[in-house]
Structure 1
Protein backbone atom coordinates (compact mmCIF):
# COMPACT_ATOMS: atom_id res chain seq x y z
CA UNK A 1 0.00 0.00 0.00
CA UNK A 2 1.44 3.38 -0.98
CA UNK A 3 1.71 6.23 1.48
CA UNK A 4 -1.07 8.09 -0.38
CA UNK A 5 -3.64 5.32 0.06
CA UNK A 6 -5.88 5.46 3.14
CA UNK A 7 -5.45 2.86 5.85
CA UNK A 8 -8.22 0.36 6.53
CA UNK A 9 -9.15 2.27 9.68
CA UNK A 10 -9.35 5.54 7.75
CA UNK A 11 -11.70 3.88 5.26
CA UNK A 12 -13.91 2.57 8.08
CA UNK A 13 -13.99 5.96 9.82
CA UNK A 14 -14.79 7.77 6.58
CA UNK A 15 -17.66 5.38 5.89
CA UNK A 16 -18.97 5.84 9.44
CA UNK A 17 -18.86 9.61 9.09
CA UNK A 18 -20.54 9.46 5.67
CA UNK A 19 -23.51 7.44 6.91
CA UNK A 20 -23.75 9.54 10.08
CA UNK A 21 -23.96 12.70 7.99
CA UNK A 22 -27.32 11.47 6.68
CA UNK A 23 -28.69 9.62 9.70
CA UNK A 24 -27.50 11.57 12.77
CA UNK A 25 -28.50 15.18 13.21
CA UNK A 26 -25.97 17.73 14.54
CA UNK A 27 -26.19 17.73 18.33
CA UNK A 28 -24.60 20.56 20.28
CA UNK A 29 -25.50 18.95 23.62
CA UNK A 30 -23.70 15.69 22.88
CA UNK A 31 -20.73 17.61 21.45
CA UNK A 32 -20.58 19.59 24.69
CA UNK A 33 -20.74 16.34 26.70
CA UNK A 34 -17.66 15.05 24.91
CA UNK A 35 -15.80 18.32 25.35
CA UNK A 36 -16.66 18.57 29.04
CA UNK A 37 -15.69 14.94 29.62
CA UNK A 38 -12.34 15.57 27.95
CA UNK A 39 -11.78 18.80 29.91
CA UNK A 40 -12.43 16.97 33.21
CA UNK A 41 -9.70 14.45 32.41
CA UNK A 42 -11.91 11.44 31.63
CA UNK A 43 -10.86 9.20 28.73
CA UNK A 44 -13.73 10.28 26.49
CA UNK A 45 -12.28 8.58 23.40
CA UNK A 46 -13.41 5.16 24.68
CA UNK A 47 -17.07 6.17 24.89
CA UNK A 48 -19.45 4.47 22.47
CA UNK A 49 -19.55 5.79 18.92
CA UNK A 50 -22.36 8.10 17.89
CA UNK A 51 -23.75 5.34 15.67
CA UNK A 52 -23.88 2.88 18.58
CA UNK A 53 -25.44 5.53 20.79
CA UNK A 54 -28.18 5.99 18.21
CA UNK A 55 -28.59 2.21 17.92
CA UNK A 56 -29.12 1.91 21.69
CA UNK A 57 -31.65 4.73 21.53
CA UNK A 58 -33.54 3.02 18.70
CA UNK A 59 -33.58 -0.29 20.56
CA UNK A 60 -35.17 1.37 23.58
CA UNK A 61 -37.76 3.11 21.43
CA UNK A 62 -38.57 -0.17 19.66
CA UNK A 63 -39.29 -2.05 22.89
CA UNK A 64 -40.93 0.97 24.59
CA UNK A 65 -38.43 0.71 27.45
CA UNK A 66 -38.84 2.49 30.77
CA UNK A 67 -35.92 1.14 32.83
CA UNK A 68 -32.32 0.74 31.69
CA UNK A 69 -29.23 -0.44 33.56
CA UNK A 70 -25.86 0.75 32.30
CA UNK A 71 -22.84 -1.09 33.69
CA UNK A 72 -19.95 1.32 33.19
CA UNK A 73 -20.97 4.82 32.12
CA UNK A 74 -17.67 6.73 31.79
CA UNK A 75 -18.83 10.34 31.22
CA UNK A 76 -22.50 9.70 30.60
CA UNK A 77 -22.46 9.98 26.80
CA UNK A 78 -24.30 6.70 26.17
CA UNK A 79 -26.55 7.29 29.20
CA UNK A 80 -27.76 10.51 27.59
CA UNK A 81 -28.46 8.76 24.28
CA UNK A 82 -30.53 6.18 26.12
CA UNK A 83 -32.29 8.56 28.53
CA UNK A 84 -33.60 10.54 25.57
CA UNK A 85 -35.51 7.45 24.41
CA UNK A 86 -37.36 6.97 27.70
CA UNK A 87 -40.72 8.40 28.77
CA UNK A 88 -40.84 11.11 31.42
CA UNK A 89 -41.07 8.52 34.19
CA UNK A 90 -38.29 6.38 32.71
CA UNK A 91 -34.87 5.88 34.28
CA UNK A 92 -31.31 4.96 33.36
CA UNK A 93 -29.40 3.55 36.34
CA UNK A 94 -25.71 4.13 35.64
CA UNK A 95 -23.07 2.18 37.59
CA UNK A 96 -19.54 3.62 37.90
CA UNK A 97 -16.59 2.69 40.07
CA UNK A 98 -14.63 5.94 39.61
CA UNK A 99 -15.69 8.93 41.72
CA UNK A 100 -14.50 11.41 39.08
CA UNK A 101 -16.59 9.63 36.47
CA UNK A 102 -19.72 9.80 38.59
CA UNK A 103 -19.21 13.53 39.07
CA UNK A 104 -18.75 14.07 35.34
CA UNK A 105 -21.79 11.93 34.51
CA UNK A 106 -23.95 13.98 36.84
CA UNK A 107 -22.58 17.24 35.41
CA UNK A 108 -23.15 16.12 31.82
CA UNK A 109 -26.62 14.78 32.55
CA UNK A 110 -27.57 18.00 34.33
CA UNK A 111 -26.30 20.10 31.41
CA UNK A 112 -28.36 17.90 29.05
CA UNK A 113 -31.49 18.53 31.14
CA UNK A 114 -31.89 14.84 32.01
CA UNK A 115 -31.13 14.66 35.73
CA UNK A 116 -34.61 13.32 36.46
CA UNK A 117 -33.99 10.34 34.17
CA UNK A 118 -30.46 9.27 35.15
CA UNK A 119 -29.48 7.86 38.54
CA UNK A 120 -25.76 7.31 39.14
CA UNK A 121 -24.51 4.71 41.63
CA UNK A 122 -20.87 4.85 42.75
CA UNK A 123 -19.08 1.60 43.56
CA UNK A 124 -17.93 -1.72 42.07
CA UNK A 125 -20.60 -2.56 39.50
CA UNK A 126 -20.84 -6.26 40.35
CA UNK A 127 -21.51 -5.48 44.00
CA UNK A 128 -24.06 -2.82 43.05
CA UNK A 129 -25.85 -5.28 40.78
CA UNK A 130 -25.96 -8.02 43.42
CA UNK A 131 -27.61 -5.56 45.83
CA UNK A 132 -30.44 -4.81 43.39
CA UNK A 133 -33.78 -6.62 43.71
CA UNK A 134 -35.11 -8.58 40.74
CA UNK A 135 -38.60 -7.37 41.64
CA UNK A 136 -37.96 -4.14 39.69
CA UNK A 137 -36.72 -5.55 36.37
CA UNK A 138 -34.97 -3.58 33.65
CA UNK A 139 -35.98 -3.61 29.99
CA UNK A 140 -32.38 -3.43 28.77
CA UNK A 141 -28.96 -3.83 30.34
CA UNK A 142 -25.95 -2.32 28.57
CA UNK A 143 -22.61 -3.71 29.80
CA UNK A 144 -19.54 -1.63 28.95
CA UNK A 145 -17.19 -1.97 31.90
CA UNK A 146 -14.03 -3.92 32.75
CA UNK A 147 -13.96 -6.84 30.37
CA UNK A 148 -12.56 -9.56 32.71
CA UNK A 149 -15.84 -9.26 34.66
CA UNK A 150 -18.09 -9.67 31.61
CA UNK A 151 -19.48 -13.01 32.74
CA UNK A 152 -20.16 -11.83 36.28
CA UNK A 153 -22.02 -8.83 34.94
CA UNK A 154 -23.94 -10.94 32.46
CA UNK A 155 -25.11 -13.40 35.12
CA UNK A 156 -26.46 -10.56 37.25
CA UNK A 157 -27.97 -8.88 34.19
CA UNK A 158 -30.00 -12.03 33.48
CA UNK A 159 -31.40 -11.85 36.99
CA UNK A 160 -32.25 -8.17 36.70
CA UNK A 161 -33.68 -7.93 33.18
CA UNK A 162 -37.29 -8.81 32.43
CA UNK A 163 -38.27 -11.84 30.41
CA UNK A 164 -37.89 -10.83 26.78
CA UNK A 165 -35.54 -8.04 27.81
CA UNK A 166 -32.25 -7.24 26.09
CA UNK A 167 -28.66 -7.54 27.31
CA UNK A 168 -25.93 -5.88 25.22
CA UNK A 169 -22.24 -6.38 25.99
CA UNK A 170 -19.94 -3.96 24.19
CA UNK A 171 -16.40 -4.47 22.88
CA UNK A 172 -16.49 -8.23 22.30
CA UNK A 173 -15.01 -8.11 18.77
CA UNK A 174 -11.68 -6.66 19.91
CA UNK A 175 -10.06 -6.66 16.45
CA UNK A 176 -10.70 -10.39 16.13
CA UNK A 177 -8.37 -11.26 18.99
CA UNK A 178 -10.73 -13.57 20.92
CA UNK A 179 -10.53 -16.00 17.98
CA UNK A 180 -6.71 -15.92 18.02
CA UNK A 181 -5.22 -18.13 20.74
CA UNK A 182 -1.97 -16.16 20.70
CA UNK A 183 -3.75 -13.28 22.42
CA UNK A 184 -4.10 -13.98 26.13
CA UNK A 185 -4.68 -10.60 27.80
CA UNK A 186 -7.39 -10.38 30.45
CA UNK A 187 -9.87 -8.40 28.33
CA UNK A 188 -9.72 -10.91 25.49
CA UNK A 189 -10.07 -13.82 27.91
CA UNK A 190 -13.06 -12.04 29.44
CA UNK A 191 -14.80 -12.24 26.08
CA UNK A 192 -13.95 -15.92 25.71
CA UNK A 193 -15.28 -16.73 29.17
CA UNK A 194 -18.54 -14.97 28.38
CA UNK A 195 -18.97 -16.88 25.13
CA UNK A 196 -18.26 -20.19 26.87
CA UNK A 197 -20.83 -19.33 29.53
CA UNK A 198 -23.54 -18.40 27.03
CA UNK A 199 -22.96 -21.49 24.87
CA UNK A 200 -24.77 -23.74 27.36
CA UNK A 201 -27.05 -21.10 28.88
CA UNK A 202 -30.66 -22.20 28.42
CA UNK A 203 -32.05 -18.81 29.52
CA UNK A 204 -30.75 -16.61 26.71
CA UNK A 205 -30.47 -16.47 22.94
CA UNK A 206 -27.53 -14.42 21.73
CA UNK A 207 -25.43 -13.36 18.77
CA UNK A 208 -22.37 -11.18 18.18
CA UNK A 209 -22.58 -8.29 15.73
CA UNK A 210 -19.14 -7.27 14.49
CA UNK A 211 -18.64 -3.61 13.64
CA UNK A 212 -16.12 -1.41 11.83
CA UNK A 213 -16.04 2.37 11.91
CA UNK A 214 -14.44 5.30 13.69
CA UNK A 215 -13.73 3.02 16.68
CA UNK A 216 -11.98 0.45 14.49
CA UNK A 217 -12.86 -3.26 14.31
CA UNK A 218 -14.95 -4.35 17.27
CA UNK A 219 -18.46 -5.61 17.98
CA UNK A 220 -21.14 -6.20 20.58
CA UNK A 221 -22.98 -9.22 21.93
CA UNK A 222 -26.77 -9.00 21.75
CA UNK A 223 -28.82 -11.32 23.95
CA UNK A 224 -32.51 -11.83 24.74
CA UNK A 225 -33.56 -13.32 28.07
CA UNK A 226 -36.04 -16.14 27.50
Structure 2
Protein backbone atom coordinates (compact mmCIF):
# COMPACT_ATOMS: atom_id res chain seq x y z
CA UNK A 1 0.00 0.00 0.00
CA UNK A 2 1.27 3.47 -0.75
CA UNK A 3 0.31 7.08 -1.33
CA UNK A 4 2.27 8.38 -4.32
CA UNK A 5 2.39 12.09 -5.14
CA UNK A 6 3.32 13.28 -8.63
CA UNK A 7 4.77 16.71 -7.97
CA UNK A 8 6.62 19.57 -9.62
CA UNK A 9 6.18 23.23 -8.71
CA UNK A 10 6.37 24.15 -12.38
CA UNK A 11 3.21 23.58 -14.39
CA UNK A 12 2.82 21.89 -17.73
CA UNK A 13 5.38 19.11 -17.31
CA UNK A 14 2.87 16.28 -17.72
CA UNK A 15 1.93 15.55 -14.10
CA UNK A 16 -1.61 14.46 -14.95
CA UNK A 17 -0.59 12.22 -17.85
CA UNK A 18 2.19 10.60 -15.83
CA UNK A 19 -0.14 10.15 -12.83
CA UNK A 20 -2.62 8.32 -15.04
CA UNK A 21 -0.03 6.06 -16.67
CA UNK A 22 1.60 5.26 -13.33
CA UNK A 23 -1.75 4.34 -11.81
CA UNK A 24 -2.80 2.42 -14.90
CA UNK A 25 0.31 0.23 -14.66
CA UNK A 26 -0.92 -1.23 -11.37
CA UNK A 27 -4.60 -1.29 -12.33
CA UNK A 28 -3.78 -3.53 -15.29
CA UNK A 29 -2.09 -5.88 -12.81
CA UNK A 30 -5.40 -6.17 -10.94
CA UNK A 31 -4.37 -3.77 -8.18
CA UNK A 32 -7.10 -1.40 -7.06
CA UNK A 33 -5.95 2.20 -7.55
CA UNK A 34 -7.50 5.58 -6.75
CA UNK A 35 -6.31 8.80 -8.39
CA UNK A 36 -6.83 12.09 -6.57
CA UNK A 37 -6.02 15.54 -7.90
CA UNK A 38 -5.40 19.09 -6.74
CA UNK A 39 -5.72 20.29 -10.34
CA UNK A 40 -9.13 21.84 -11.01
CA UNK A 41 -8.73 21.17 -14.77
CA UNK A 42 -9.20 17.44 -14.06
CA UNK A 43 -7.11 16.54 -17.12
CA UNK A 44 -7.04 12.94 -15.93
CA UNK A 45 -10.56 12.57 -17.33
CA UNK A 46 -9.60 13.87 -20.77
CA UNK A 47 -6.51 11.66 -20.96
CA UNK A 48 -8.65 8.63 -20.03
CA UNK A 49 -11.36 9.51 -22.55
CA UNK A 50 -14.03 9.97 -19.89
CA UNK A 51 -16.64 12.75 -19.80
CA UNK A 52 -18.04 13.74 -16.42
CA UNK A 53 -19.86 16.78 -15.04
CA UNK A 54 -17.16 18.01 -12.65
CA UNK A 55 -19.36 20.67 -11.03
CA UNK A 56 -20.77 18.19 -8.51
CA UNK A 57 -20.21 14.87 -6.70
CA UNK A 58 -16.48 15.46 -6.35
CA UNK A 59 -13.88 15.99 -3.66
CA UNK A 60 -15.46 19.11 -2.22
CA UNK A 61 -18.87 17.46 -1.85
CA UNK A 62 -17.20 14.50 -0.17
CA UNK A 63 -15.46 16.77 2.35
CA UNK A 64 -18.78 18.47 3.12
CA UNK A 65 -20.50 15.17 3.80
CA UNK A 66 -22.52 15.25 0.59
CA UNK A 67 -22.95 12.54 -2.01
CA UNK A 68 -19.90 12.01 -4.19
CA UNK A 69 -18.88 9.57 -6.91
CA UNK A 70 -15.63 7.87 -7.80
CA UNK A 71 -15.32 7.80 -11.58
CA UNK A 72 -14.30 4.42 -12.99
CA UNK A 73 -11.64 5.11 -15.62
CA UNK A 74 -10.70 1.50 -16.29
CA UNK A 75 -11.15 -1.81 -14.44
CA UNK A 76 -9.54 -1.36 -10.99
CA UNK A 77 -8.80 2.32 -11.72
CA UNK A 78 -10.86 5.11 -10.11
CA UNK A 79 -10.71 8.90 -9.99
CA UNK A 80 -12.17 11.56 -7.69
CA UNK A 81 -12.40 14.90 -9.47
CA UNK A 82 -11.96 18.38 -8.05
CA UNK A 83 -15.03 20.56 -8.38
CA UNK A 84 -13.08 23.78 -8.33
CA UNK A 85 -14.88 25.90 -5.80
CA UNK A 86 -13.51 27.14 -2.50
CA UNK A 87 -12.88 24.57 0.20
CA UNK A 88 -14.08 25.25 3.72
CA UNK A 89 -11.56 25.90 6.47
CA UNK A 90 -12.02 22.56 8.22
CA UNK A 91 -11.30 20.45 5.14
CA UNK A 92 -7.77 19.44 6.17
CA UNK A 93 -8.67 16.97 8.90
CA UNK A 94 -11.56 15.60 6.86
CA UNK A 95 -9.25 14.99 3.92
CA UNK A 96 -6.69 13.24 6.11
CA UNK A 97 -9.41 11.00 7.53
CA UNK A 98 -10.79 10.25 4.06
CA UNK A 99 -7.38 9.19 2.75
CA UNK A 100 -6.91 7.02 5.81
CA UNK A 101 -10.17 5.25 4.99
CA UNK A 102 -9.36 4.95 1.28
CA UNK A 103 -6.08 3.28 2.16
CA UNK A 104 -8.16 0.42 3.54
CA UNK A 105 -10.01 0.02 0.23
CA UNK A 106 -7.29 0.65 -2.36
CA UNK A 107 -3.89 -0.91 -2.95
CA UNK A 108 -2.48 2.45 -4.07
CA UNK A 109 -3.50 6.11 -4.05
CA UNK A 110 -1.86 8.18 -6.78
CA UNK A 111 -2.11 11.97 -6.43
CA UNK A 112 -1.84 14.36 -9.36
CA UNK A 113 -0.34 17.31 -7.49
CA UNK A 114 -0.74 20.96 -8.38
CA UNK A 115 -0.08 23.86 -5.96
CA UNK A 116 -3.63 25.19 -5.68
CA UNK A 117 -6.21 25.59 -2.92
CA UNK A 118 -3.71 24.53 -0.27
CA UNK A 119 -4.42 20.90 -1.10
CA UNK A 120 -0.86 20.28 -2.19
CA UNK A 121 0.50 20.94 1.30
CA UNK A 122 -1.77 18.22 2.69
CA UNK A 123 -0.85 15.84 -0.12
CA UNK A 124 2.86 16.51 0.52
CA UNK A 125 2.36 15.62 4.17
CA UNK A 126 0.42 12.43 3.49
CA UNK A 127 2.54 11.18 0.58
CA UNK A 128 4.79 8.22 1.25
CA UNK A 129 6.51 8.49 -2.14
CA UNK A 130 7.11 11.51 -4.39
CA UNK A 131 7.70 11.27 -8.15
CA UNK A 132 8.98 14.37 -9.98
CA UNK A 133 8.22 14.81 -13.70
CA UNK A 134 10.40 17.35 -15.49
CA UNK A 135 11.30 18.89 -18.80
CA UNK A 136 14.99 18.98 -19.66
CA UNK A 137 15.31 22.74 -19.88
CA UNK A 138 17.17 25.06 -17.51
CA UNK A 139 14.08 26.53 -15.84
CA UNK A 140 12.42 23.20 -15.08
CA UNK A 141 15.71 21.59 -14.09
CA UNK A 142 16.24 24.39 -11.58
CA UNK A 143 12.74 23.70 -10.25
CA UNK A 144 13.73 20.07 -9.65
CA UNK A 145 16.92 21.16 -7.87
CA UNK A 146 14.86 23.46 -5.65
CA UNK A 147 12.53 20.59 -4.78
CA UNK A 148 15.49 18.41 -3.85
CA UNK A 149 16.48 21.12 -1.37
CA UNK A 150 13.06 21.76 0.14
CA UNK A 151 11.13 18.48 -0.03
CA UNK A 152 11.75 15.54 2.31
CA UNK A 153 14.40 13.55 0.44
CA UNK A 154 13.28 10.38 2.20
CA UNK A 155 10.05 10.58 0.20
CA UNK A 156 11.51 11.36 -3.23
CA UNK A 157 11.90 8.22 -5.32
CA UNK A 158 12.25 9.09 -9.01
CA UNK A 159 12.63 11.97 -11.46
CA UNK A 160 11.04 11.36 -14.88
CA UNK A 161 12.14 13.51 -17.87
CA UNK A 162 9.10 13.99 -20.09
CA UNK A 163 8.48 15.15 -23.70
CA UNK A 164 12.16 15.13 -24.50
CA UNK A 165 13.73 15.89 -27.88
CA UNK A 166 17.34 15.64 -29.00
CA UNK A 167 18.79 19.07 -28.26
CA UNK A 168 22.16 19.75 -26.67
CA UNK A 169 20.49 21.65 -23.82
CA UNK A 170 18.35 18.61 -23.00
CA UNK A 171 21.39 16.33 -23.00
CA UNK A 172 23.25 18.70 -20.69
CA UNK A 173 20.29 18.99 -18.31
CA UNK A 174 19.94 15.21 -18.24
CA UNK A 175 23.63 14.75 -17.40
CA UNK A 176 23.41 17.42 -14.71
CA UNK A 177 20.39 15.78 -13.05
CA UNK A 178 21.85 12.31 -13.42
CA UNK A 179 25.02 13.30 -11.59
CA UNK A 180 23.14 15.07 -8.80
CA UNK A 181 20.55 12.32 -8.30
CA UNK A 182 23.13 9.54 -8.24
CA UNK A 183 24.83 11.31 -5.33
CA UNK A 184 21.49 11.32 -3.51
CA UNK A 185 20.71 7.70 -4.36
CA UNK A 186 17.66 8.64 -6.43
CA UNK A 187 16.64 7.29 -9.84
CA UNK A 188 16.56 9.40 -12.98
CA UNK A 189 14.65 7.38 -15.56
CA UNK A 190 15.38 7.29 -19.24
CA UNK A 191 13.56 10.17 -20.95
CA UNK A 192 10.05 9.86 -22.32
CA UNK A 193 10.51 11.24 -25.82
CA UNK A 194 8.10 13.41 -27.74
CA UNK A 195 6.06 10.94 -29.75
CA UNK A 196 3.32 11.03 -32.36
CA UNK A 197 2.14 7.70 -30.94
CA UNK A 198 1.58 9.23 -27.48
CA UNK A 199 -0.11 12.26 -29.03
CA UNK A 200 -2.54 9.95 -30.81
CA UNK A 201 -3.28 8.09 -27.57
CA UNK A 202 -4.01 11.39 -25.82
CA UNK A 203 -6.31 12.47 -28.65
CA UNK A 204 -8.26 9.21 -28.42
CA UNK A 205 -8.36 9.12 -24.60
CA UNK A 206 -6.27 5.94 -24.41
CA UNK A 207 -3.69 4.82 -21.86
CA UNK A 208 -0.40 3.30 -22.95
CA UNK A 209 -1.60 0.15 -21.19
CA UNK A 210 -4.61 -0.02 -23.52
CA UNK A 211 -2.28 -0.37 -26.49
CA UNK A 212 -0.17 -3.26 -27.77
CA UNK A 213 1.94 -1.06 -30.04
CA UNK A 214 5.54 -2.24 -29.65
CA UNK A 215 6.85 1.35 -29.79
CA UNK A 216 5.32 1.90 -26.35
CA UNK A 217 7.14 -0.98 -24.66
CA UNK A 218 10.12 1.21 -23.80
CA UNK A 219 7.83 3.78 -22.13
CA UNK A 220 5.95 1.05 -20.28
CA UNK A 221 9.26 -0.18 -18.91
CA UNK A 222 10.00 3.31 -17.58
CA UNK A 223 6.85 3.15 -15.45
CA UNK A 224 7.73 -0.37 -14.36
CA UNK A 225 11.10 1.02 -13.20
CA UNK A 226 9.30 3.69 -11.18
CA UNK A 227 7.16 1.08 -9.44
CA UNK A 228 10.21 -1.02 -8.67
CA UNK A 229 11.73 1.98 -6.90
CA UNK A 230 8.52 2.53 -4.94
CA UNK A 231 8.11 -1.10 -3.95
CA UNK A 232 11.75 -1.53 -2.95
CA UNK A 233 11.39 1.06 -0.21
Question: Normalization by structure 2: what TM-score?
Answer: 0.39
Q: Kindly indicate which of the two structures has a greater share of residues assigned to strand.
A: 1
Question: Normalization by structure 1: what TM-score?
Answer: 0.40
Name the structure, 1 or 2, with higher relative contact order (CA <8 Å, separation 6+): 2
